[in-house]
Chain A
């Protein structure tokens, strides 16, 4: 049995939605009794229609949102709030604009009280890892969206977290950059062996990156099915993988799950994106 890195046990969350003009406040259940494990070195994707609570779950794991009930364990240790045992990559890179790329990577280390020389050494390593060795002294506004997101990834990796949480990190990028960064992420995953929990709404991305895909349903958010991805690592590039019949079959299966469509509709769904 492989080691459980992240355990999510019966986590529930309900939002109180404040009423607008003439409307009463109401309760919106976002997650109900959600449980699953993520194993060491595994990449797990959460996918599902919007409103299924996948991002909320990720933010709960990070400690950005408080859960109502349930238990979350990282390396067997119960977590209650934000912590540096988890690294978070945001949907928008959200780099601090007054810091250079290097200083952004050093942010978490600075909070940990790591001394200057060691911080700089770590930052250099990570700039190398994300392929931006020459961009350390650039400010975020001088970097392209893809480069900013690489720095965001390096910032999360800098604190050497037990698990990496990624919230649709490539969704704001153009198609070509997205595929490049997906490949890069797999390479970095191979190099670092990090456990990754990845939220996405992109079917291809989920299949290409993941060992397992958790398909979620909405209202309230719950697990519909957990799908094992059979492709061996290192994987061939996504544009080539798309030609694989197994890939297409999986894509159709997930599509149907998300759309609640009958199996007959699968044929038509192949090649269509959720977006």
Chain B
């Protein structure tokens, strides 16, 4: 009779460990291939990892990367906070009250379906090229996934959980705060996670089309200078930002609602 420890060692290594190795191997392969192939192409059209790294060091040293990042973050985080508050508030009302839903659903659907980049000229006419216009554009993009997920979270609260509240003679208000709100929380977090991705898109779009600032400005500046390696640096920072912020919301999701992880949209 083998001991338990012996049994554990038999068979392939745990799946997660093997997948981790595969991931690292794949990453290294792509990096090496990029480095080798990138060096064959004219530097105007393509760059390669070591050149980008060099450019990143220079840009960090003279402070323009940090400066650009801070300017971008200011718009992004403020607009996202406003989107979260408005989106969750409106989503709760729409999900809970049929009348509010009927009043607003056509508008929400229409705006959600519109490619919002198309209305940017209008936003500029209204709000100019400054900070307000940028905030507005980011909010316009970020708010809908938050609002729609919150509303569907409220609508999807299982009837049997509401029965529990009713059976214990909870008031309408208690049913809302003690059952509907916590039950919808995972959906809200999913909305926030999807919203942050769209907020980053909105931020870059705003930086391209209104007053040129932040990381978007760096991309345009180095693009105009045909300095492709430097242009890659803010792009990669944006990528990292997207990964980081999404991971933070995902972590918050697991912490706030450990009993449930919802599917994407």
Contacts and interface: CB of A to CB of B under 8 A. Distances in A.
Given A139-B258, A139-B259, A94 B161 contact: yes
B260 interface: yes
Contacts of B160: 90, 92, 94
A82 B162 CA distance: 13
Interface string A100-138: 000000011011000000000000000000000000000
Given A96-B161, A111-B174, 19 more contacts: A62-B167, A64-B166, A81-B169, A88-B167, A90-B160, A90-B163, A92-B160, A94-B161, A96-B164, A96-B178, A96-B179, A96-B182, A98-B183, A98-B185, A107-B164, A107-B168, A107-B178, A139-B258, A140-B259
A113 B182 CA distance: 20
A271 interface: no
Contacts of B178: 96, 107, 110-111
B184 to A, nearest CB: 11
A98 B166 CA distance: 18
Interface string B225-238: 00000000000000
A97 interface: yes
Contacts of A108: 168
Contacts of A159: 168
Nearest to B175: A111
Contact of B259 (A81, A97, A110): A97
Interface of B: 160-161, 163-164, 166-170, 174, 178-179, 182-183, 185, 257-260
Interface residues of A, number: 22
Interface in A218-274: none
17 contacts: A63-B166, A64-B163, A64-B166, A82-B169, A88-B167, A90-B164, A92-B160, A94-B160, A97-B260, A98-B183, A98-B259, A107-B168, A108-B168, A110-B178, A111-B169, A111-B178, A139-B259
Interface of A: 62-64, 81-84, 88, 90, 92, 94, 96-98, 107-108, 110-111, 139-141, 159
Contacts of A141: 259
A141 B182 CA distance: 16
Contacts of B257: 98
Contacts of B169: 63, 81-84, 111
Given A82-B168, A82-B169, A111-B169, A94 B163 contact: yes
For the complex of A and B, the 6 pairs showing the least CB-CB separation, nearest first, are: A97-B259, A88-B167, A82-B169, A108-B168, A98-B182, A94-B160
A214 to B, nearest CB: 22
A111 B259 contact: no
Contact of A94 (B164, B182, B259, B260): B164
A82 B178 CA distance: 17
B237 to A, nearest CB: 37
Nearest to A142: B259
Q: Which interface residue of B161, B167, B169, B174 has the most chain A CB atoms within 10 A?
A: B167
A96 B160 CA distance: 10
B167 A82 contact: yes
Nearest to A82: B169
Q: Which interface residue of B163, B168, B258, B259 has the most chain A CB atoms within 10 A?
A: B168
Q: Which interface residue of B160, B164, B166, B170 has the most chain A CB atoms within 10 A?
A: B164
Contacts of A107: 164, 168, 178
A83 B166 CA distance: 9
Contacts of B183: 98
Nearest to B168: A108
Contacts of A63: 166-167, 169
A141 B174 CA distance: 24
A43 to B, nearest CB: 20
A141 B261 CA distance: 13
A62 B166 CA distance: 9
Nearest to B174: A111
B40 to A, nearest CB: 54
Contact of B168 (A84, A97, A98): A84
A66 to B, nearest CB: 12
A226 to B, nearest CB: 27
A245 B119 CA distance: 83
B259 A82 contact: no
